[in-house]
Amino acid sequence: MTTQSVAVPSFIQLSPLDNIVVARHALSPGDALSLASGTTVSPRVAILAGHKVAVAAIPSGNPILRYGQIIGFASSDIAPGDHVHGHNVAMRDFDRDYAYCEGAKPTQMVAEPRTFQGIVRADGRVATRNYVGVLTSVNCSATVARFVADAFRRDPMTGHNPLADYPNVDGVVALTHRTGCGMDSSGEGIALLRRTIAGFARHPNFSHVFMLGLGCESNQLDELVDRERLLRTRAIVPILNIQTAGGTRKAVERGVAMIREMLADANRIARQPVPMSNLIVALQCGGSDGYSGITANPALGVAADRVVQHGGSAILAETPEIYGAEHLLTRRAETRAVGEKLIAHIKWWEKYTASNGGNMDNNPSPGNKAGGLTTILEKSLGAMAKGGSTNLVDVLAYAEPLKKRGFNFMDSPGYDPVSVTGEVASGANVVCFTTGRGSVFGCVPSPSIKLATNSSVFTRMPEDMDIDCGGIVEGKETLEACGERIFERIIATASGEHTLSEQQGFGESEFSPWPIGAVM
C-alpha cells in the first residue's frame, strides 16, 4: 500500500474572512492560487516569501483583513493579485470592541503537573541558573564593574578558568547601563530604574550580588536598598562606592575580593525536582517577519498554555506591539479591572508617542517590513499569538514583581532588550524569543531560547537558533506538535540545559532598563 503525499499550497489563508493570502514561498506572475472558495487568483507581480497577495478587490479606504482582523486600510484601489504592502496600505483609527471578560474561561489544569530540576535557595526561592552578579547604580561605575567581572572570565588564549574550582557557578557577570544620573532624584524615572535593579538583585538566578556605585550619582545605593527593601530579600546586599574605596584600582581590588568571598557559598548547590509553579517564562519576539504570526509565535502560545496548565506563569510584554490587537486580550481578562488596566497603558502610549512627535505605526522596523509585515496592526496580531489562549490574570507595570500565577501582561516598550529586562526584573527565569530575520540575543541571568519562524534563518544561523518552527509553514509539522517541542525545551532549559546564546556568551550587554523621564 502506497501513501500519497498531500500537496502543500503555495500560499496561506489564515481565515476565510481574509482578503489577502501570505506567500508560503516566492511567487511569480501568473502562478495559479486556487482558493477554498473555488476561485483562482494569479499574482500580477513577483511576490516575496512571507509577503501578501490580494485575493479580492479592496477599494480605496476599505479594510484589509488578516487573521480575520483589520491590519490596515487600502490607500488606493487594490485588485486581486496585487502585492499588498506599504505602497498601498495605510493606518487609521477604527473602533475596537473590548468586550471585557467575554472570552474568559476556566483554565484546564493538568492533573499531574510536570516538574523541572531547579535550584532551591535557602529562603525557598527557586532558580534555573546560578550566577554571581555585580549590579551598577550608574553608568559611571560600569567600567569598574566590568573590570571586576573580567577577573573571573576564562582566558581564551591560555584557557585559564578562574571559576574552575566552582563548577556549579554559571558565571560572574556585570550588569551595566547608561543612566542613574542626569535625572531627577525622585519621580517616575528613578523609581522605575530602582525597581528594575531591585528585581535583578532579588532574582533567584543570582546566588549572590553586590552593588557598585560611583558615590555622587542621583541613584544613591543606600537609598535604593532602603526603598526597595532589599535587606528583606537577602541577608546582606554589599555596597561599594568607587569614590570612598579610593578610586578605580582599589575599587576593582575590593570588588574582586568580595566576589571571591562569595564563590564557595555560591558553589554549594544541587538541582532537585521542583513544581512548575516556580517557572516564569518571558514571551518575546524580535526581528519579526511575515511568518512570525503563523509559525513560532502561535507555537510559543501553545507552549505558554502548557506552562500555565502545569501551574507555571508566562509574561507577554511590548505594549506598542499589541496595539490594534488589545481587544483580543481584554476578552480574556479574568476581571474587568484587569482589562481596563491594559487599556490604560494603551492610552498612555498613544499620548507618549504623540508628545514625542511620533505615532504608534512608527513600528514595524525596516527589517520587519522586508520580511513581509506592513503595519503595527499586522505585527501586533502576530505578536499577541505568543500569549496563547488562557485567561489574562494580571497587568504589570514595567519591572513590577509577578503577583499572580498564570498568563500576565507587562507594560514595556517594543525594544527587545528593554522589554526582556523588565520581564526578568518581574521574575522571569526562562526567556523564549522568536525571530524571523535572525535576532542574536541572550539574557543574564535567565537563559534565552531562540525560536526561528522559518527554516531558512534556522539553517543560515545554526549557532544562534535553538528551535526551527519553519516546518509549520512547510506543512511538515502542526502548531500543536511544535508547541510541545518548545514546552519540552523550556523544561530542559530550566533544568540546566544551556541554550545557544548562553554557549556564545550573550547576556550582559542586553541588560537595558527603560530610560523613561527627562535627562538633565
For residue 65, CA distances in Å to 52, 195, 268, 276, 500 come to 11, 40, 56, 38, 37
CATH architecture of 118-272: 3-Layer(aba) Sandwich (3.40)
Q: How confident is the model at residue 3 (pLDDT cuts 50, 70, 90)?
A: very low
Task: Please write the tens of the pLDDT for every residue from 93-116.
Answer: 888 999 999 999 999 999 999 999
Output phi, psi for 44, to 5 deg. -90, -15
**Count of CB atoms within 10 A of residue 470's CB?**
23
**Count of CB atoms within 10 A of residue 307's CB?**
28
Output phi, psi for 473, to 5 deg. -70, -25
What is the rounded CA–CA span in Å between residue 209 and residue 255? Answer: 11
Is the per-residue pLDDT at 235 higher than 90?
Answer: no
What is the rounded CA–CA span in Å between residue 228 and residue 234? Answer: 12
Output phi, psi for 361, to 5 deg. -90, 10
What is the rounded CA–CA span in Å between residue 38 and residue 271? Answer: 58
Task: Please write the tens of the pLDDT for every residue from 281-295.
Answer: 999 999 999 999 999
Q: DSSP for 445-512, please give it.
A: SS-EEEEESSHHHHHH-TTT-SEE-TTTTTTSS-HHHHHHHHHHHHHHHHTTPPPHHHHHT-SSTT--
What is the rounded CA–CA span in Å between residue 427 and residue 335? Answer: 23
Task: Please write the tens of the pLDDT for every residue from 285-342.
Answer: 999 999 999 999 999 999 999 999 999 999 999 999 999 999 999 999 999 999 999 9
Cell 528585581 sits at which residue? 199
Instruction: Give the sheet arrangement for strand 271-275, strand by strand.
Output: 126-127, 115-120, 271-275
Give the 3-state secondary structure of residue 351: helix
Do the Cβ atoms of 84 and 374 come closer than 8 Å? yes
Q: How confident is the model at residue 74 (pLDDT cuts 50, 70, 90)?
A: very high
Is the per-residue pLDDT at 271 higher than 50?
Answer: yes
pLDDT of res. 234: 52
pLDDT (mean) for 448-463: 97
pLDDT of res. 4: 46
pLDDT of res. 519: 73
Do the Cβ atoms of 381 and 325 come closer than 8 Å? yes
Is the per-residue pLDDT at 6 higher than 60?
Answer: no
Q: DSSP for 247-312, please give it.
A: SHHHHHHHHHHHHHHHHHHHT---EEEEEGGG-EEEEEE-S--TTTTTTHHHHHHHHHHHHHHTT-
What single letter denotes the amino acid at residue 93?
D
pTM: 0.94
Question: Where do the domains of the chain lie?
Answer: 1-94, 118-272, 280-504
Tell me, which fold does domain 1-94 have in CATH?
2.30.130
pLDDT of res. 2: 43
Q: DSSP for 298-320, please give it.
A: HHHHHHHHHHHHTT-EEEE--GG
What is the rounded CA–CA span in Å between residue 157 and residue 283? Answer: 37
